[in-house]
Amino acid sequence: MEIKNIESIEDFQQIMEENNEFVLLKNSLTCPISTAANHEYESFSENSNIPLFRLNVQHARELSNYIEDMYQIKHESPQVIRVVDGKPAWDTSHSNITESNLENNCL
């Protein structure tokens, strides 16, 4: 499934309204660990039918903070959050973001 980039709180609120389930990657454009996590996320996207979104923290700091406050999940980058019925169902970060972890916890 295609990964859609989001940058605003309004984008995120629309995603929440339109999707019962989705996965979000919070990603840094300058971190090598984020680059590796992004590659794993893109590999996962090839076999996923769940809506997938990516937030680049340098472009969307306000949104990143909003998500941290909303879900009470400490911000990390990179970080993946799976949301089901408006609530976080799973999250992980850094080197734990692998295609196999995503498949085991998001499919």
pLDDT range class, residue 1, cuts 50, 70, 90: confident
Q: Where are the domains of the chain?
A: 3-99
**Measured on CA atoms in the order 54, 24, 107, 43, is the torsion positive or negative?**
positive
Q: Looking at the predicted structure, is the pLDDT value of residue 27 above 90?
A: yes
Q: Looking at the predicted structure, is the pLDDT value of residue 74 above 90?
A: no
Q: What is the pLDDT of residue 38?
A: 94
pTM for the whole structure: 0.92
Six-digit token string for 90: 């799973």
Output the average pLDDT for the chain: 93
Q: Looking at the predicted structure, is the pLDDT value of residue 85 above 90?
A: yes
Q: Looking at the predicted structure, is the pLDDT value of residue 49 above 90?
A: yes
Question: For the stretch 70-94, what's the b/e string if a residue is b when 16 or more beta carbons lie within 10 angstroms of its beta carbon?
Answer: eeeeeeebbbbbbbeeeeeeebbbe
CATH topology of domain 3-99: Glutaredoxin (3.40.30)
H helices present in 1-107, as ranges: 9-18, 32-45, 61-71, 99-106
